[in-house]
A and B are shown apart, each in its own frame.
Chain A
Amino acid sequence: MASQALLIKDIHLEAKIFSRRLLLGVILVFGLSLLLTARLAWLQILDFDHYSDLALQNRVKISPLAPSRGLIYDRNGVLLAENIPSYNLEITPEEISDMPSLLKRLQQLLSLEESDLNRFRKQVARSPAFESIPLLTNLSDQQLALFEVSRHNYPGVEVLATLQRHYPEKELFAHLLGYVGRINEAELEKIDPINYRGTTHIGKLGIEQQYESLLHGQSGLQSREVNSHGRPIRVLDEERPTEGDSIVLTLDRDLQQVAYDALGDESGAIVAMDPRTGEVLAMVSRPSYDPNLFVHGISTKDYSALTSNVETPLINRAIRGQYPPGSTIKPLTALAGLENNTIDPATKYFARPFYQIKGQERKYRDWKRTGHGWVNVVDALAVSSDVYFYDMAHRLGIDKMAEMYDQFGMGSITGIDLPGEKTGILPSREWKKKRQNIAWYPGETLIVGIGQGYMLTTPLQLANFTSCIAMRGGCREPHLLKTQLSKEAGKQDLTTEGWQIELKNERNWDHIIEGMINVMHAPNGTARRSAADAEYKIAGKTGTAQVFSLEEDERYNADELARDLHDHALFVAFAPAENPQIAVSVIVEHGGGGSSTAAPVARQVLDAWLVKEDTKPDG
């Protein structure tokens, strides 16, 4: 009954309501039409003289002037990103009567690619017809000559000289600088349309993206008088664009080169920083790519070659590569043990070949088949005893370890001035609960204590915590911008941000630093070969990170494994140990052992920096 009642409608009431509303609609339509008519009468009748004058004078065309982009230097004034002249072929669509045939003729003359034409057509479709649009950028000398000879056949087509971005160091700084590329639709939504009117390129990655606002500058305007056909006659007024600010980075080109070469053809990353200031001196990620490819829009072939490469050259491993830290984390584990009085620096512990949690069958093996025998914390660091740290970690518990790692920045971004930094993973009870909704197992504490298991870090985080140790808790935020060379404000140096890690017992710094020195200089130190004949004292720590987990009784045998299952080789160090000037982290993907592969690489970087500093002291 109820549903039927709904269908019986009062048709007369509905018609009445509708008629009343329709009447209101008619009144609205008339009112608004009157408003429009009045507005046009005002413009066309009352203001006729005014606009008539304006129309006669309307011989002025306004066009934007793009600012030239700021340059990028290394700390010694070596140019890393510059602007070089290039010639573009531009077309003003509204001056062309038959675009398809024009494009066909130009395609024959200059052997254009179909992709250029498609990009051009797309841009024509979304731009006002009076704006000139580049058909071809970066003309070759031959193309330039061919066009100039027959340019009278192509009214409405112009050759314009512009500045284009160029990266003279090519692959060396690709991940750091990033590159500029054509502004895409997504970026178009975010930029200031007024300031970017004449700008075609925008910083896409790295420093170019990070400091886009400094580097871009302020766009200008030019008004030109035109004749009755719209051709410019003379410039009436010009508001010059303000150049973008140039910037000086903390990087050292030569050190970067040494680090880049030291990695050889291996995939991996190196970060070197000055622990006193947080200045990043070198940051290498291999394999790399040539950023100049991207400036003009990379060809499909080149791009798919880069993206299909299994070694992922486009990724900046130094800030986006996440690796288990392996034994390089042991100094922090030791510090947690010392601070919580879980271990005593003097007490020796007998490190057997394996460790067992009471009441459990599973054997947690040491990397050394025979075990290390009697070791204290300093020895345990030097020989990298796993069993010593299993025991300590088990007694210490995950919460206190995680607290210490957290103080050194694990699991959070360092805040470096590069876009896209990853956080890594700092495993803890809460983290595991949130991620997998499973309780924490005691065995997991053990393997986190030696930097395996869930824990992941970026090479930058490794260099960062090594710097913190070097400065005995005086951490500095890693950064790349050293100086901003502003036209208006002059030279502006950047102040460094930092924080202090306070220990309950300051002496604990000595113990872990002594352990790290012994890694390099004690007769049983894991990286003693890499410190041989060093003119300065190094404090370091080797690490070997498993790519997959071994069964309890399996032994790792590189010869039997595919290359991409080989262990990652890691190494962190600072030097000189008593007066630290540089901290380094090295990771060689699938490089095998940290002491055999990663430490020698770091040694080359340390030598390049410290020996150079002896001869010409840095300001």
Chain B
Amino acid sequence: MVELSGERRSRLSLRLDPILLLGILLLGVLGTVVLYSASGQELDVVYKQAVRIAVGLFVMTLIAQTPVHWFRETAWWLYLIALIMLVLVLVFGDIGKGAQRWLVVGPIRFQPSELMKLAMPMAIAAWFATRQLPPNTVESLIALVLVLVPMFLIVRQPDLGTALLVGSSGAIVIFFAGIGWRLLLVLLSAVAAGVPVLWHFMHDYQRRRVMTFLNPENDPLGAGYHIIQSKIALGSGGMEGKGWLNGSQSSLQFIPERTTDFVFSVYAEEFGFIGVAVLVLLYLSVVLRGFYLAYTAQDTFARLLGASLGMIFFVYFFVNVGMVSGLLPVVGVPLPLVSYGGTSMVTLMAAFGMLMAIGNEKRLMPK
């Protein structure tokens, strides 16, 4: 028998990044603990969430074993499939009048925008990977079109929140690829200038929706109610919190969507500012570990993909907490790894799987 060298042995083991895995597990466990309280102490909810995490971890482990060049080779296909499915959703949504975000094939319900959340950064990274960075204006603008088309389709569902998230997952890649500052400035000014024009062409009811979106206090029974109640829950948590299972706001059921979009409010009420600080540090460590894996990656594609996956994870966290604390409008973004829900958990874990796969590839080139 030949002795296996250290390196060979590690190739046989599951190649998971221990630091990233630890962060994910801690957040997942914390999530189930909060969900138990938020759901009114329903073990069923905890059980289902645990199953989702387990399924997610399985998916992550599988993807982590994949060579990174597979991602680059499948990127365009995934992007194309996701794009076609987004169109299908719009077509069938028009007929069925029902929830337009879902594609139903037999027993399987699937949200194409979730696939796009992964396919978008992969495709944009693949686009830049075959070009010399920094990209010139034409290359940047083509990338921008690739970002805007699926965004437009998701806006039509209509799901403005998801559209912005999917869009930013692509925009982040463009940024990391080194888009010129001057072009960036021009694009941002164009967006700023486009807002009044868009406003001019909107219907009254659409304007009303935007107004409610920006100023939820307009709608004291809907979005405004959520925000007011959420802020009361956060604020009354204080420094140390009211203790697990003791949040009066959540047990009195004042916080709406308290197992999904507003789960952070329940957490902050029960664990206070100290708990919040711990949570922020946990998220930060996951994001920074992701950045580190991207930094040590061997080629441009892996670097761009890795960094954008880390960044988008942070964006989810930031938008969700910003939303429940009244900093940002309510867009319906769950707290990653903590909120109750199926599809988004698998998407997230798949993203972490890709990050780990990137971390597994040894650096071939010196820095």
Q: How far is the CB of B288 from chain A (nearest CB, A)?
A: 7
Which residues of B are found within 8 Å of A48, using beta-carbon distances? Answer: 235-236, 238-239
Chain B residues with CB under 8 Å of A64's CB are 221
Q: Is B325 an interface residue (CB 8 A)?
A: yes
Q: Interface size (B, Cβ < 8 Å)? A: 70
Contacting pair A51 B176 (CB below 8 A): no
Q: Quick check: is A550 within 8 A (CB to CB) of the other chain?
A: no
Instruction: Identify which of residues 32-76 in chain A touch chain B, using a CB-to-CB cut-off of 8 Å.
Output: 32-33, 35-37, 39-41, 43-45, 47-48, 50-52, 54-55, 58-59, 62-64
- Name the residue of chain A whose CB is nearest to the CB of B128: A14
Query: Which residue in A40, A52, A62, A129 is a CB contact (below 8 Å) of B221?
Result: A62
Complex Cα distance A11/B133, Å?
A: 9
| Residues of chain B within 8 A of A94, CB atoms compared | 40, 253
A221 located at the interface, meaning its Cβ lies under 8 Å from any Cβ of chain B in the complex: yes
A299 within 8 A of B: no
- Given the complex of chains A and B, what is the CA–CA distance between A514 and B77 in angstroms? 76
B322 near A36: Cβ-Cβ < 8 Å: yes
Which of A134-142, A189-197, A556-564, A589-597 lies on the face that meets chain B?
Answer: A189-197
The answer to whether B280 and A37 have CB atoms under 8 Å apart is yes
Is B365 engaged at the interface, CB distance under 8 Å to the other chain? yes
- Residues of B near A30 (CB, < 8 A) are 284
Q: In the assembled complex, which residues on chain A have CB atoms less than 8 Å from the CB atom of B98?
A: 122, 185
Mark interface residues in A158-201 (1 if CB within 8 Å of B CB, else 0). 00000000000000000000000000111001111110010000
Within 8 A of A (CB), among B292-336: 294-295, 300, 303-304, 307, 311, 314, 318, 321-322, 325, 327
> What's the Cα separation between A353 and B235 when bound, in Å?
95
Asked whether A39 lies within 8 Å of B325 as measured between CB atoms, the reply is yes
The residue that B276 contacts in the complex, of A26, A35, A40, with Cβ under 8 A, is A40
Q: Which of A17-25, A240-248, A430-438 contacts B (4 or more CB under 8 A)?
A: A17-25
Selected from A20, A32, A193, the residue in CB contact (under 8 A) with B318 is A32
Given A29-B314, A44-B234, A14 and B239 contact (CB-CB distance below 8 Å): no
Q: How many residues of chain A get a CB closer than 8 Å to chain B's CBs?
A: 62
Contacts of B367 in A (CB 8 A): 15
Closest chain A residue to B256, Cβ basis: A128
Tell whether A111 is near chain B: CB-to-CB under 8 Å. Answer: no
Q: Does residue A10 face the partner (Cβ distance < 8 Å to B)?
A: yes
| B141 in the interface (beta carbon within 8 A) | no
Which A-chain residue is minimally distant from B94 (CB atoms)? A186
Is A54 in contact with B221, judged by CB distance below 8 angstroms?
no
- At the interface, yes or no: B209 with Cβ under 8 Å from chain A? yes
A310 close to chain B: CB less than 8 A = no
Candidates A58, A192, A197; contact of B252 at CB < 8 Å: A58
Name the CB-closest residue of A to B322.
Answer: A36
Question: Is the Cβ of B249 less than 8 Å from the Cβ of A29?
Answer: no
Contacts of B218 in A (CB 8 A): 194
How long is the Cα–Cα vector from A21 to B321 in the complex, in angstroms? Answer: 25
Stretch at the interface among B51-59, B162-170, B225-233: B225-233
A97 touches B42 (CB 8 A): yes
Q: Which residues of A contact B291 (CB under 8 A)?
A: 22, 25-26, 29
Partner of A191, one of B176, B177, B205, B253: B205
5 contacts between A and B (CB under 8 A): A6-B132, A13-B133, A22-B291, A36-B322, A130-B253
B8: Cβ under 8 A from any A Cβ? no
Tell me how far the C-beta of B56 lies from the nearest C-beta in chain A, rounded to whole angstroms. 22
Known: A58-B252, A128-B257, A184-B97. A44 touches B205 (CB 8 A): no
* Smallest CB gap from A46: residue in B: B235
A230 touches B (CB below 8 Å): yes
B272 within 8 A of A: yes
Structural contact, B221 and A221, CB atoms closer than 8 A: yes
Whether a CB of chain A sits under 8 angstroms from the CB of B273 is yes
Complex-state Cα separation, A20 to B311, whole angstroms: 15
Given the complex of chains A and B, what is the CA–CA distance between A6 and B133 in angstroms?
11
Is the C-beta of A9 less than 8 angstroms from some C-beta in chain B?
A: yes
Whether A194 pairs with B236 at a CB distance below 8 angstroms is no
Q: Would A197 and B221 count as touching, CB distance under 8 A?
A: yes
Contacts of B322 in A (CB 8 A): 36, 39
Contact A51–B231 (Cβ < 8 Å): yes
**Which 4 residue pairs of A and B lie closest in terms of their CB atoms, listed nearest first?**
A51-B235, A55-B236, A17-B178, A44-B273
When the two chains form their complex, are residues B256 and A129 in contact, meaning their CB atoms are under 8 A apart? Answer: yes
With A43-B235, A186-B97: A36-B307 Cβ-Cβ less than 8 Å? no
Check A228 for interface membership: any CB of B closer than 8 A: yes
Is B175 among interface residues, defined by CB-CB distance under 8 A?
yes
Report the nearest B residue to A62, measured CB to CB. Answer: B221
Q: Can you list, as one digit per residue, whether each of B47-80 has a CB less than 8 Å from chain A (1) or not (0)?
A: 0000000000000000000000000000000000
- CB of B248 within 8 Å of the partner chain: yes
- The yes or no answer to A616 lying at the interface (CB within 8 A) is no
Given contacts A22-B307, A29-B287, A40 and B132 within 8 Å (CB-CB): no
Residue ID in chain A nearest B133 by CB atoms: A14
Q: A193 to B212, Cβ gap below 8 A? A: yes
Q: How far apart are the CA atoms of A190 and B176 in the complex, in Å?
A: 40
In the bound complex, what is the Cα–Cα distance between A130 and B222 (angstroms)? 11
Q: Is the Cβ of A192 less than 8 Å from the Cβ of B208?
A: yes
Q: Which residues of A contact B233 (CB under 8 A)?
A: 55
A10 — which chain B residues lie within 8 A by C-beta? 132
**B268 proximity list for chain A (CB < 8 A):** 40, 44
- What is the 8 Å Cβ interface bit string for chain B, positions 204-227, against chain A (1 contact, 0 not)? 010011001000001111100100
A22 touches B321 (CB 8 A): no
Q: Is B99 an interface residue (CB 8 A)?
A: yes
Can you list, as one digit per residue, whether each of A121-152 has a CB less than 8 Å from chain B (1) or not (0)? 01000101110000000000000000000000
Docked CA distance A420–B229 (Å): 44
CB of A126, distance to nearest CB on chain B (Å): 7
Of all chain B residues, the one with the shortest Cβ separation from A26 is: B291
Query: CA–CA, A22 to B276, complex, Å?
Result: 26
Determine how close the nearest CB of chain A comes to the CB of B331; give it in whole angstroms: 16
Is B28 located at the chain interface by the 8 A CB criterion?
Answer: no
Residue in chain A with minimal CB distance to B299: A11
B254 interfacial contact with A, CB 8 Å: yes
Complex CA gap A532/B262 in Å reads 79
Most buried by B among A7, A41, A55, A221: A55
Whether A25 contacts B176 by the Cβ 8 Å rule is yes
Is B237's beta carbon under 8 Å from chain A?
yes
Known: A21-B178, A55-B248. 17 other contacts (CB 8 A): A6-B131, A14-B132, A21-B307, A22-B291, A39-B322, A40-B325, A44-B235, A44-B272, A50-B235, A52-B238, A58-B229, A58-B254, A59-B252, A94-B40, A130-B256, A193-B222, A221-B220
Closest to A191 in B: B205
Taking the complex as formed, is B158 at the interface, i.e. its CB lies under 8 A from any CB of chain A?
yes
Residues of A within 8 A of B176 (CB): 18, 21-22, 25
Residues from chain B with a CB closer than 8 A to the CB of A19 are 295
Complex Cα–Cα for A515 and B318 (A): 81
Asked if A54 meets B133 with Cβ closer than 8 Å, knowing A18-B178, A21-B178, A189-B158, the reply is no
The docked-state distance in angstroms from the alpha carbon of A186 to that of B325 is 31
Given contacts A19-B295, A29-B288, contact A36 B235 (CB under 8 A): no
How far, in Å, is B342 (CB) from chain A's closest CB?
Answer: 13
Task: Return chain A residues, CB-CB under 8 Å to B314.
Answer: 29, 32
How far, in whole Å, are A161 and B159 apart by their CA atoms in the complex?
Answer: 35
A9 to chain B, nearest CB (A): 5
